[in-house]
Amino acid sequence: MKTNRLPRGQSGAALLVALIMLLISTMVGLASIRGTTMNEKMSSNMYDRSLSYQGAEAALLAGEAAVLADPTIAVDCTVVNAECPPSPSTTFTSTTTDWITVGSDFEVNDALLGSKPQFYVERMGVVGGTDELGLGESANCSNYAGCDEAPPNAASFRITGRSGIPATDGRSVVALQITVKQNL
């Protein structure tokens, strides 16, 4: 009777090669999962930031409409010895003093933002009005009446808008600023 025996030169190297290949494919799979998870986090952060940016823009628009309707809502920086920093010191804190919440006139998805956007208005002083570009010195002034009038003055306001009250939940908070000039 004849028996099949393994030749003496084989020692089970195929098993070792298969295990190494399985280890390599597992590592590639784990790296792929890690990369996908990182991309998901980045896209959700961009979505959150985009929502916050839109909220801050809504706050600026609401602030501009409010200051043009009622200039007395502004914090006055023209008082002697008053100093207005480049941005309010409470911009990225949960303090709401002097911050005005955007009203229902402006559509804001505050359910996604976590809170309503807010704006802060500062009166920066009086500046030149509509004729500060020298339009009164144009060739039309010699042909048409009305150019000999003194240019009006304008009040300058700085409006800071933030996307909501900063919280500890890790949500993005975006702050934007604009300067608004209102002829007096």
Q: Measured between alpha carbons, how far is 178 from 184 in angstroms, rounded to an integer? A: 19
Q: Is 122 exposed, middle or buried (0-12, 13-18, 19+ CB in 10 A)?
A: buried
Count the Cβ atoms, other than its own, within 10 Å of residue 129: 16
Nearest CA to 122 out of 104, 99, 96, 106 is that of: 99
pTM of the model: 0.69
Is the pLDDT confidence value at 143 over 80?
no
Q: Of residues 177 and 94, which shows the higher confidence score?
A: 177
Domain ranges of the chain: 57-183
Is the pLDDT confidence value at 157 over 70?
yes
Q: Measured between alpha carbons, how far is 27 from 18 in angstroms, rounded to an integer? A: 14
Spatial contact of 175 and 79, defined as CB atoms under 8 Å apart: no
List, in order, residues 6 or more apart from 43 with CB less than 8 Å away.
none
Residue type at 172?
A: S
